[in-house]
Each structure stands twice: as C-alpha cells, then as structure tokens.
Amino acid sequence: MYTASGEKVKRIAIVGPECTGKTDLSMALALHYHTAWVPEYARGFIERLERPYTQNDLLTIAQWQLFTEDELALTANGVLICDTDLTVIKVWSEFKFGACDPTIIAMMRSRTYDLHLLTGIDIPWEDDPQREHPDKREYFYTRYKTELKAQGVNLMEIKGDRKTRLNLAIASIDNLIG
C-alpha cells in the first residue's frame, strides 16, 4: 500500500491479549512517528451493538478493520500503526465460537505487515466492559505467538513497563525503516 503521494507504507501491527497495552502503545507510536494510527474497529463496533456480538459480526469487523487500514494508509507518514490485525479476530473466533469464518482466514492470509509487535501480559489487568477473560491472558498470548510464528511474520515480543515497551517498539521500527 502506498500513501496518496506514492510513498510505500510500512505496516506495523500490534497484537496481544486483552489489556496488554496495545492501544496505548499504538497511539504512542503513531505520535512518535507523526503518522496515522488505525484503531481496533471491534471496540467501537461492539460499543454500538445493543446485543451480544455474534460470529457473523466478526466478518463485518474484519472487513471494516481492513477498509479503515487501507484508507488511513493513504495519509501515513512512512509507517502505518495498526492497533490489531486479523490474527486477533481469527484466534478470538476460534476460542469463542469454535471456528473462524474461512473468509476471515483468507483476508488474513492476503494481508502482509512489515512487523508484528506482540504485547506481553506483564502489565496489570484493568477492568473494561468489553474485556472478557482476565484469567486467559497467558493462553491468548501463547495462541497469538504460535499463530504469528506459523504465519512466518517478522515478530518482536514487547514486554516490560510502558516506557520500556515503547522504547523496544521504537527500536524495532527504527531497525525496520533504517
């Protein structure tokens, strides 16, 4: 994907279990690089629902996540910071519903990122109405790591306090963009 001016955009995806600082990290990285930030579409979508979300909703979320990502890539300043990718939707769907829609898997496989940052579970849990499994963070961390390794992506694990995480992420991105 290229910006409106024709510049190649490096895509960075932040992935990890619930309440591991993905949004804070992605916003801080976007600010640091003076670039576009792609929020997690699922959060706003679920907030607007007046019913529990379903497996079919995950396909809608996935489609809009990628659409938003592509739109914001046009305004990116060399790197695009994404507060999730479809790996999260795939793993979550398999956990909650026992399977993932093949269309989501196909969309996930068709999308490439230059770097995945996997956020560790070493920061405290904070309650939030959308967070469902405080006792499953280690499980999800392992699932995301296994899934990302199976995809053969460029992966950096991000752990430590928030300042350490930001510094590790910046060093990883700086190494990528040279």
pLDDT in tens, the chain (178 residues): 665 565 789 999 999 998 899 999 999 999 999 999 999 998 889 888 888 889 999 999 999 999 999 999 999 999 999 999 999 999 999 999 999 999 999 999 999 999 999 999 998 766 555 556 667 889 999 999 999 999 999 999 999 999 999 999 999 999 999 8
Q: Is residue 2 part of a domain?
A: no
Which residues contact residue 173 at a Cβ distance below 8 angstroms, ignoring those fewer than 6 apart? 10, 12, 29, 33, 79, 115
Q: Is residue 112 part of a domain?
A: yes
Q: Is residue 4 part of a domain?
A: no
Q: Is residue 5 part of a domain?
A: no
Q: Is residue 157 part of a domain?
A: yes
Number of domains into which the chain is organized: 1
Prediction pTM value:
0.91
